[in-house]
Amino acid sequence: MQLYLGGHLNWYEPCKRGWITVPLAETTPLAAVLARLGVPASEVAIVTINRRVVALQDARVSDGDTVELYPPIGGG
């Protein structure tokens, strides 16, 4: 799975990368992937899987998916 950590979400990823590759052996709840990566779900405001917006609690991801995550975007 290709995962994009937008805004300040990639602050939580040790290497501070935007796009990262997350190998997935099977379909997995996205929340579990985030927990493994150390990205707090409380900071995630927008989730897209293959460009479609989904709710984090319902999101399940598979290898080959392109996933983008963004925090609350406060303007400026």
Considering only 8, 17, 57, 58, the residue that binds another protein (CB under 8 A) is 8
Give the binding-site size for another protein (rule: CB under 8 A).
25
Q: What are φ and ψ of residue 9, in 5° steps?
A: -65, -30
Instruction: Report which residue type is found at 70.
Output: Y
**Which H helix or E strand runs over 32?**
helix 30-37
Considering only 16, 23, 38, 55, the residue that binds another protein (CB under 8 A) is 16
66 lies in the binding site for another protein (CB under 8 A): no
What x/- string results for residues 27 through 56 when contact with another protein is judged by CB under 8 A? -------------x-xx-xx-x----x---
Kindly state the smallest distance separating residue 7's Cβ from another protein, in Å.
6
C-alpha distance from residue 22 to each of 9, 49, 74, 75, 76 (Å): 16, 14, 28, 30, 31
